[in-house]
Structure 1
Amino acid sequence: MSEEPKPRRRQARGERRIAQLLQAAANVFCANGYTATSTNAIAREASVSPGTLYQYFPNKEAIAVELGDRLLHQMREAHGQAFTPENFELPLPELLDAVLDPMIEFNCQNPVFLALMHGSEVPGKIAEEHDELHASLLARVGDLLGHYLPDLPAGDRARIADMTFAVFKGGLALVLAAPEGPERDATIAELKTALHRYLDPVIGDANITCPSPVTTTPTP
């Protein structure tokens, strides 16, 4: 009975070590990019020996895949907070706050996401999962447009969704490059202004007048 906690303690130490290595990898990937990063550089950043690193990950690709999996999971959760039926009922300025804030916060807290997902020579598994996430996000934007404009032709909806996402990605790069504090806050405000000015002629009136779903209860 007295020896039962030992495996759990070893497992907890292992999880902490993995988290330490992944954070070190994130720092190095951000600084150098995926291609120029080596396992030795990650080990130095984590203050461990290369041998310790290899106890947990066989190579740089395995580290990147594990880090990418965790980031993509967190990003999907951010999407889940953003694209909800309740948010779709908000006026456009509040809708943009509700949709953009979780996604901007995630990227600001995890700058390695863009460095890893958009880097050259990233592992194929990461690229494939990122493409799936990208397609899912575009579909969510398309759903939002369809909510307000159900008669909008599919081609128009896809084009507007593509443009909306392109504006967001371009603005997000400027947000991440801005120093934290007033300058970053001002850049976020500019990004929201740009998206509002683009989307308001498209869904502004529909956003205001779109009726909420009405439910009826049968009379006895």
Structure 2
Amino acid sequence: MTADSRRLQPRKRPRQVRAELTRQRILTAAAHVFAEHGYAAGTTNRIAEQARISIGSLYQYYPNKDAILSELLLRHLDVAAASGPLPPEGSLEEIIRGQVRAVIENHRDDPQLLRVLIEQAPRSPELLAKIDQYERSRVAYVRELLGSHPEVRVEDTETAARLMVSTVELVVHKLVAAPDPIDVGRFEEELVAMLTRYLTQ
């Protein structure tokens, strides 16, 4: 493990309930602080104050704010992976809508925090591996769907699957986390219509 990788690792993994609760308090406080103050002003002192623990206690769990931010992004990916793809049932438009809505819902809770995670969270090897695994599983699901659904007309299902997964993720990240709010209902309709037309014409 490189020095940069160690810098992004938690100092310890709690084994007792009390320690795990403290770790969760730190992460919850950090999410609030990063969302309210941004990355630069989201200091470990502010996080400790928000969590109502001493700075020394915080450093028992995390060596710096980058390690905290990295763990928040890992947690975000875990939630996204746990939501999983929907079963391939119904019309193609209904399936695409389910996929788009799931990604949108996973990003609506705290758009300010999401913007910090996307733009400024450090990328450890563990995090890059998890992102790659998440994307591969999504692409594999969509590729299988496109190869079997009777409404699909696109011929290159491998490229189409990668395009679809990347488009949904990147566009949702960009617009849901944008400083100026977007009409989420309208956004969903337009994105579903765009993808459906691409796959069926």
| TM-score bucket of the superposed structures, by smaller chain | 0.7 to 0.9
- Structure (1 or 2) with the larger CA radius of gyration: 1
Root mean square deviation, CA, Å: 3.1
**Residue 107 of structure 1: SS of its match in structure 2?**
coil
Larger RCO (CA within 8 A; separation ≥ 6): 2
Contact 1:168 1:195 in 2 (8 A): no
TM-score by length of 1: 0.67
Pair 1:197-2:197 in alignment: yes
* 2-structure distance, mates of 1:174, 1:61: 25
Deviation at 1:90, TM superposition (A): 0.7
Deviation at 1:91, TM superposition (A): 0.5
TM-score by length of 2: 0.72
Contact 2:48 2:54 in 1 (8 A): yes
Instruction: Mark the CA change 1:12 to 1:42 in structure 2 (over 3 Å): closer, same or farther.
Output: same
Contact 1:25 1:42 in 2 (8 A): yes
Match of 1:24 among 29, 36, 61: 29
Contact 1:164 1:195 in 2 (8 A): yes
The equivalent residue for 1:171 is 171
The equivalent residue for 1:92 is 92
Deviation at 1:152, TM superposition (A): 7.5
**Please, which runs of 5 or more residues in structure 2 have no aligned partner?**
1-14
How many pairs does the alignment contain? Answer: 182
Pair 1:134-2:135 in alignment: yes
Instruction: Mark the CA change 1:52 to 1:18 in structure 2 (over 3 Å): closer, same or farther.
Output: same
**Residue by residue, what CA displacement relative to the aligned partner does 1:50-89 show, whole Å, maximum 9, x if unpaired?**
122123323334423433333222111112xx232xxx23
Instruction: Mark the CA change 1:18 to 1:104 in structure 2 (over 3 Å): closer, same or farther.
Output: same
The equivalent residue for 1:83 is 86
Mapping 1:49-64, distance limit 5 Å: 49-64=54-69
* 1-structure distance, mates of 2:79, 2:141: 17
Pair 1:158-2:196 in alignment: no
Deviation at 1:105, TM superposition (A): 0.8
Instruction: Mark the CA change 1:132 to 1:118 in structure 2 (over 3 Å): closer, same or farther.
Output: farther
Deviation at 1:184, TM superposition (A): 2.2
**Residue by residue, what CA displacement relative to the aligned partner does 1:123-146 show, whole Å, maximum 9, x if unpaired?**
232122112212222222212112
Identity %: 31
Deviation at 1:160, TM superposition (A): 0.9
